[in-house]
């Protein structure tokens, strides 16, 4: 089939009269921040968005109030709370919730990386990743966008393109021959731009290029990626279809030529891949309860503003506090995206207004603006979020580690209490420091990242040990070498168990001169979405400055505030992404 020749990209349509200008400007700032890796000097944002400095300042002030960005010196930085917008799309699609566990199981069985991807214009966007940790392995993140021709899933989705879609694809290829608009993939050689056989690697299996691969995938029912993304990376993808036969996503198994060649990979993985796709298609058709799709009402509320009906109160308070630096129409428009979620994949205007507490006219203008920009789709009555929402920083933020999430909150804690603060995780019978913010004092605690101490005589260790199941805790203490490190160190297993029970009951630990003479430390737990303690945060100070009771009174409220802020970010970030603790 001969497709239309490429034409120059057409100018985007003008915004409708009802479009909310401040909302459009805020989204342009978020896009630029995401394109810059999550951090940009404010001056660069002014140049890149072509907005006035005063406008960018108001946008950033409002985004900071929402918790979507932080201002660090001269830089604007994307904050984990922004992930709630992408979470709304992922929850509404139900693909990670329904199909993610099946993809994870397939990855374990094959010992290969497995991905779920959806079509997004003439690109492919990842919505779930189950990766194998190897020296040469898949490095894509949830939210990353690939050109349709650079990978196995794109050929499956392009089979449903019409003539206008093909024309847009050709125009994009002509305008961006090196794939500069797709930072997640290695750049294409400029000399390859005129040929539609994509990729820096060999395309010997499909010499006629992308159109031939689309036709071959249609005939075979699966698609092959023979190093289309980069040399050595190979993949096989199979479509996952709804009851009408439309591909809603693609399931891919990704390997490396050091393990399996492109010729060997299909025979090795297709039988199990097809079995998993059949299970996924069955899971898509199950009722929500039977499919075990989480009810968002049962998980912690991570919204940056109170739920309806308190939106109006929060907006008024923000406006009174920030004055013209808080742009209500921008905040209202962004909050509109959070109306969607599990069980709320498509909503009419009235339901969006009710869920957000906004007036119908306000919600309508926000929906029209978001639909114009491609973040929502509509059939005229119902609105639904699109994968494009994930371009708003999701890929960058979903790759954050727990220490990176905690660091700005530790900085704020140190500024408040004027003593050093740290985060540690349990590693065997030791604690290991994974984040730290020192303070400047004549007498200060000098500890570096990676430092390990025995868990039993430390405040963070006791917080972490207290969360262990009782049988495991007793066994650990029975086998541990409980050596006295100072004259105050508690080494009796029975007394330690009693102290740990107090820690579990009071939700903090205070350790006085047990690790080192003169060192006092107070720690609280940090919990993930399931309530499991994944780390601890502490403040260390010199015992001579005040009594233990005075330290508890002065430090514990600030510690708990910092831990709560870390948990709020962690719960949002960990909704669909795995957050490494190191």
- The pLDDT score that the predictor gives to residue 564 is 97
What does the DSSP 8-state code read for residue 345? S
**Cα–chain center distance at 574:** 7
Closest CA relative to residue 330, chosen from 380, 372, 369, 273: 369
Phi and psi at residue 137, in whole multiples of 5°? -145, 175
d(CA 373, CA 183): 21
d(CA 29, CA 51): 9
Residues constituting the chain: 582
Q: Is the pLDDT of residue 51 over 60?
A: yes
Q: Is the pLDDT of residue 203 over 70?
A: no
Q: What is the mean pLDDT of residues 412-437?
A: 95
Q: How large is the greatest C-alpha to C-alpha distance in the chain, in angstroms?
A: 85
**Taking the complete model, does pTM exceed 0.95, yes or no?**
no
- The pLDDT score that the predictor gives to residue 200 is 42
d(CA 479, CA 21): 65
Confidence class for position 131, pLDDT limits 50, 70, 90: confident
Q: Is the pLDDT of residue 47 over 70?
A: yes
Confidence class for position 294, pLDDT limits 50, 70, 90: low
d(CA 325, CA 319): 8
The DSSP-derived string for 509-574 is EEEESSSSTTEEEEEEEEE-TTS-EEEEEEEEEEGGGS-HHHHHHHHHHHHHHHHHHHHHHHHHHT
Q: Is the pLDDT of residue 190 over 60?
A: no
Q: Is the pLDDT of residue 139 over 50?
A: yes
Confidence class for position 12, pLDDT limits 50, 70, 90: confident
Confidence class for position 300, pLDDT limits 50, 70, 90: very low
List, for residues 19-37, the tens digit of each pLDDT value. 999 999 999 999 999 999 9
d(CA 117, CA 123): 10
Q: Is the pLDDT of residue 510 over 60?
A: yes
d(CA 519, CA 444): 10
Q: What is the mean pLDDT of residues 499-508?
A: 96
Q: Is the pLDDT of residue 304 over 50?
A: no
| Residues in Cβ contact with 410 at an 8 Å cutoff, skipping those fewer than 6 apart | 421, 422, 423, 435, 436, 437, 537, 562
Which strand (E) or helix (H) includes residue 55? helix 53-66
Q: What is the mean pLDDT of residues 513-528?
A: 94
Q: What is the mean pLDDT of residues 179-206?
A: 61
List, for residues 348-402, the tens digit of each pLDDT value. 999 999 988 889 999 999 999 999 999 999 999 999 999 999 999 999 999 999 9
Mean pLDDT for the chain overall: 89
d(CA 436, CA 393): 26
Confidence class for position 209, pLDDT limits 50, 70, 90: confident
522, β-bridge pairs: 510, 539
Q: Which residue has the higher pLDDT, 293 or 510?
A: 510
- The pLDDT score that the predictor gives to residue 198 is 42
Q: Is the pLDDT of residue 289 over 90?
A: no
Confidence class for position 313, pLDDT limits 50, 70, 90: confident
- The pLDDT score that the predictor gives to residue 264 is 96
Q: Is the pLDDT of residue 566 over 80?
A: yes
- The pLDDT score that the predictor gives to residue 287 is 86
d(CA 29, CA 224): 37
**Cα–chain center distance at 237:** 24
First to last CA, the chain: 51
Lowest mean pLDDT segment, chosen from 58-72, 136-150, 472-486? 136-150
């Amino acid at each position: 089939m001969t497709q239309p020749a490429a034409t120059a990209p057409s100018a985007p349509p003008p915004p409708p009269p009802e479009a909310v200008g401040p909302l459009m400007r805020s989204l342009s700032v978020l896009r630029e921040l995401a394109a810059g890796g999550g951090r940009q000097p404010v001056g660069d944002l002014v140049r890149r968005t072509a907005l006035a400095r005063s406008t960018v300042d108001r946008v950033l002030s409002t985004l900071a109030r929402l918790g979507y960005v932080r201002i660090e010196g001269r830089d604007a930085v994307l904050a984990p709370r922004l992930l709630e917008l992408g979470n709304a799309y992922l929850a509404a699609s139900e693909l990670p919730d329904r199909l993610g566990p099946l993809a994870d199981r397939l990855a374990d069985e094959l010992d290969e990386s497995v991905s779920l991807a959806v079509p997004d214009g003439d690109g492919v966007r990842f919505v779930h990743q189950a990766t194998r940790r190897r020296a040469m392995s898949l490095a894509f993140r949830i939210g990353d966008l690939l050109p349709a021709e650079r990978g196995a899933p794109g050929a499956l989705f392009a089979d449903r393109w019409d003539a206008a879609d093909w024309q847009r694809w050709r125009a994009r290829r002509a305008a961006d021959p090196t794939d500069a608009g797709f930072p997640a993939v290695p750049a294409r050689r400029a000399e390859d731009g005129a040929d539609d056989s994509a990729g820096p690697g060999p395309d010997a299996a499909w010499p006629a290029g992308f159109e031939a691969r689309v036709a071959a995938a249609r005939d075979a029912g699966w698609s092959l990626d023979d190093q289309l993304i980069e040399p050595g990376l190979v993949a096989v993808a199979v479509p996952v279809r709804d009851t009408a036969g439309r591909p809603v996503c693609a399931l891919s198994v990704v390997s490396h030529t050091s393990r399996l060649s492109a010729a060997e990979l299909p025979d090795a993985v297709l039988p199990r891949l097809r079995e998993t796709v059949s299970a996924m298609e069955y899971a898509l058709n199950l009722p929500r309860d039977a499919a075990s799709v989480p009810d968002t009402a049962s998980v912690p509320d991570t919204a940056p503003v109170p739920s309806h009906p308190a939106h109006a109160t929060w907006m008024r308070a923000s406006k009174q506090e920030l004055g013209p630096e808080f742009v209500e129409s921008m905040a209202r428009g962004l909050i509109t995206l959070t109306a969607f979620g599990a069980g709320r994949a498509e909503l009419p205007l009235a339901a969006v207004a009710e869920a957000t507490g906004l007036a119908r006219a306000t919600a309508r203008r926000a929906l029209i603006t978001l639909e114009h920009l491609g973040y929502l789709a509509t059939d005229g009555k119902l609105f639904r979020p699109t994968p494009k929402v994930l371009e708003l920083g999701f890929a960058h933020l979903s790759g954050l580690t727990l220490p990176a999430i905690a660091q700005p909150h530790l900085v704020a804690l140190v500024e408040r209490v004027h003593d050093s603060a740290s985060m540690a995780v349990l590693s065997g019978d030791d604690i290991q420091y994974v984040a730290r913010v020192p303070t400047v004092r004549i007498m200060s605690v000098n500890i570096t990242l990676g430092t390990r101490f025995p868990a039993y005589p430390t405040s963070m260790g006791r917080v972490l040990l207290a969360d262990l199941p009782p049988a495991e805790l007793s066994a650990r203490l029975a086998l541990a070498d409980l050596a006295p490190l100072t004259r105050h160190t508690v080494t009796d297993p029975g007394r330690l168990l009693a102290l740990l029970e107090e820690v579990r009951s009071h939700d903090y630990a205070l350790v006085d001169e047990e690790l080192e003479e003169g060192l006092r430390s107070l720690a609280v737990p940090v919990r993930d979405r399931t309530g499991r303690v994944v780390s601890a945060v502490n403040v260390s100070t010199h015992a001579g400055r005040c009594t233990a009771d005075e330290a508890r009174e002065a430090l514990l409220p600030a510690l708990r505030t910092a831990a709560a802020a870390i948990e709020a970010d962690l719960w949002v970030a960990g909704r669909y992404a795995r957050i490494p603790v190191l």
